[in-house]
Structure 1
Amino acid sequence: MAGVTNVAFRTLCRELELAKVGTVSGLYVCEMVTARALVERHPGTMHMVTFGPDESPRSLQLYSVDPDNTYAAARMIADEGLADHIDMNFGCPVPKVTRRGGGAALPYKRRLFGRIVAAAVKGVEGTDIPVTVKFRIGIDDEHHTHLDAGRIAAEEGAAAVALHARTAAQRYSGTADWEQIARLKEHVTSIPVLGNGDIFEAGDALAMMSATGCDGVVIGRGCLGRPWLFAELSAAFTGAPPPPPPTLGEVAAILMRHAQLLADHFGEDKGLRDIRKHIAWYLHGFPAGAELRRSLALVKTLAELRGLLDQLDPDVPFPPAATGPRGRQGSPASVSLPEGWLDDPDDCTVPAGAEVMHSGG
């Protein structure tokens, strides 16, 4: 969720959960940052790990291919009190990441994967900071790694594992294979197993847990333009009445609040450039008109955004067309990997250049 789950979005999600159900029970994870960039205190990375003054627990998502960098980053997080939870991300399928051996490619290297998880756990030794691990089913249908990854993560001290039930080759296309979550749950019994993939409304989460026996769910694309989804999940899990879906006027107010929070975090110019991608997700399925959508896609100031949103009909109810997938989906594709990557799953060589990116993966 690079470029999405910054402090502005997390604050908005927490505000909506508190307002709609009276409590904040969700764990809101920051954008993925690289261990190397964190240790080197790259200014952009340090800004990415900003947390709200009342945000608790503070959850930091870490990307790494190197046990040494992982240990140094985890130790830094612990020593400097930067976060209360570390989530290791081995799920990114983006070609620029996998072609260097990172993200969803890395769990194929079983021993290296285990050393990285162990390094994170060792880095927070003596604290109450849990380390969790997220990964995919595998590289493709011929190279599944999730059962080994779950076992290894548990053996190395991870507090929980999460499975995005797609392969890297699927990227975000097709449907998630929830059966693989059930298999992982049967295989890993010592720590909680969380499921991820194709949860776009609260009923999907309940259905996944019923079908797979998983202990909880992880939300990714389902919250794009739907920051109130966590309030709906909170109500569903506690048996409380579901909060009513927002009208277009309420969506516009939420969108405006999001823009203000982004402006506070980035400054108005960058904040308004950032809100543009969210606008299409917020208005997905709603009647807005092509001309207004074009204007919103070019919005530059908070005042301009407010004026454009005032043109929407506030009484339009939440439409059925607004449900379902949002964000990138794309098509399946072969996974870009380093030369010879599949030759030896026990090779512990750290991939060259995989941590050059300073943020987001």
Structure 2
Amino acid sequence: MAGVTNVAFRTLCRELELAREGTISGLYVCEMVTARALVERHPVTMHMTTFAPDETPRSLQLYTVDPATTFAAARMIADEGLADHIDMNFGCPVPKVTRRGGGAAIPFKRRLFGQIVAAAVRGVEGTSIPVTAKFRIGIDDAHTTHLDAGRIARDEGAAAIALHARTAAQRYSGAADWSRIAELKQHVTDIPVLGNGDIFDADDALRMMAETGCDGVVIGRGCLGRPWLFAELSAAFGGREPANAPNLGEVADIMRRHGALLAQHFGEDKGMRDMRKHIAWYLHGFPAGADLRRALALVKTLPELDQLVGQLDPEIPFPRVAEGPRGRQGSPGSVALPEGWLDDPDDCTVPAGADVMHSGG
């Protein structure tokens, strides 16, 4: 969720859960940052790790490929009190990442994967900071790694694991195979196993837990344009009926608040440029008109955002067509990997240049 789950979006989600449910029960994770950039104190990376003053627990997600850098980043987080939880993301299927041996390519190298998890756990030793890990089923159907990855992460001290029930080759296409989450839950029984993939409403979350036995769910694309989803999940898990989905007038108010939070975090110019992608997700399924959509896609200032969303019909109910998949989907494809990557799963050589990239993978 790089470029999405910054402090502005997390604050909005938390506000909506608190307003609807009277409490905050979800864990809201910072967008993914690169461990090397964190250790080197890259200004953009340090800004990405911003948390709201009242945000707790503060959850920071790391992209990493190198045990030494991982240890240094975890030690820095612990020593400087930068976060209360470290989540390690080994699920990114983007070709520019896997081509260098990062992201979803890492768990195939089981010794290296174990060394990375162990380094993070060692880096926070003596603190109450838990380390968790998220990964995919594997590289493709011929190279599945989720059971090994779950066992290794547990053995190296991970407090919980999460499985996105797709292979890297699937990317975000097709359907998530929830049966693999059930397999992992049966394979790793002594730490929580969380499920991820194709949860777009509270019913999906309840069904995943019933079908797989997993201990909780992880939300990704399901919250795009729907920051109130976490309030719905809180209600459903508490045995309460979720509040009605917002009508277009309520969505307009949420968009205004989101824009104000982004402007506060980035400044008005960059905040509005960032807001543009969210507008398309918010209006998915709503009748808004081509001219208004085009104007909103070019919004430059907060007053302009306020004026444009004020043209939306506030009485239009939330459309059923807006339920279901949102965000990127794309098509499956072969996974770009370094030459010889699949030759030896026990090779623990750190992939060259895989962490020389901007934060967020």
TM tier relative to shorter chain: over 0.9
- Measured in 2, the distance between the counterparts of 1:138 and 1:240 equals 36
- Measured in 2, the distance between the counterparts of 1:2 and 1:227 equals 16
1:266 corresponding residue in structure 2: 266
State the shift of 1:319 in Å.
Answer: 1.0
1:351 aligns with 2:355: no
What per-residue deviation string (whole Å, max 9, x for no partner) do you get for residues 258-315 of structure 1?
Answer: 0000000000000000000000000000010111101100000011111110110001
The alignment yields a C-alpha RMSD, in angstroms, of: 0.4
- Measured in 2, the distance between the counterparts of 1:256 and 1:166 equals 35
Kept in 2, the 8 Å contact 1:5–1:30? The answer is yes
Kept in 2, the 8 Å contact 1:154–1:160? The answer is yes
Query: What SS does structure 2 have at the residue aligned with 1:105?
Result: helix
2:16 corresponding residue in structure 1: 16
Query: What SS does structure 2 have at the residue aligned with 1:31?
Result: coil
1:83 aligns with 2:94: no
- Measured in 2, the distance between the counterparts of 1:206 and 1:114 equals 32
1:185 corresponding residue in structure 2: 185
- Measured in 2, the distance between the counterparts of 1:103 and 1:34 equals 11
1:319 aligns with 2:319: yes
Map 1:125-274 to 2 at 5 A: 125-274=125-274
- Measured in 2, the distance between the counterparts of 1:238 and 1:264 equals 33
Amino acid across the alignment from 1:323: E
Kept in 2, the 8 Å contact 1:251–1:282? The answer is yes
Amino acid across the alignment from 1:249: G
Stretch of structure 1 that moved more, 131-140 or 238-247: 238-247
Q: Mind listing any 5+ residue stretches in structure 2 that lack a counterpart?
A: none
Amino acid across the alignment from 2:104: A
- Measured in 2, the distance between the counterparts of 1:38 and 1:303 equals 35
- Measured in 1, the distance between the counterparts of 2:300 and 2:323 equals 28
1:41 corresponding residue in structure 2: 41
| % identity of equivalent residues | 83
- Measured in 2, the distance between the counterparts of 1:215 and 1:328 equals 26
- Measured in 1, the distance between the counterparts of 2:243 and 2:120 equals 39
- Measured in 1, the distance between the counterparts of 2:292 and 2:140 equals 42
Query: What SS does structure 2 have at the residue aligned with 1:75?
Result: helix
Map 1:108-127 to 2 at 5 A: 108-127=108-127
State the shift of 1:241 in Å.
Answer: 2.3
- Measured in 2, the distance between the counterparts of 1:14 and 1:352 equals 39
Query: What SS does structure 2 have at the residue aligned with 1:30?
Result: coil
User: Number of matched residues?
Assistant: 361
- Measured in 2, the distance between the counterparts of 1:240 and 1:273 equals 37
What per-residue deviation string (whole Å, max 9, x for no partner) do you get for residues 228-261 of structure 1?
Answer: 0000000000012211110000001001100000
1:5 corresponding residue in structure 2: 5
- Measured in 2, the distance between the counterparts of 1:197 and 1:110 equals 23
- Measured in 2, the distance between the counterparts of 1:241 and 1:190 equals 32
Q: Which runs of 4+ in 1 moved over 6 A?
A: none
Kept in 2, the 8 Å contact 1:64–1:70? The answer is yes
State the shift of 1:190 in Å.
Answer: 1.1
Amino acid across the alignment from 2:36: R
Amino acid across the alignment from 1:346: D
What per-residue deviation string (whole Å, max 9, x for no partner) do you get for residues 310-358 of structure 1?
Answer: 1100010111011111110000010000000000000000000000013
- TM (normalized to structure 1)? 1.00
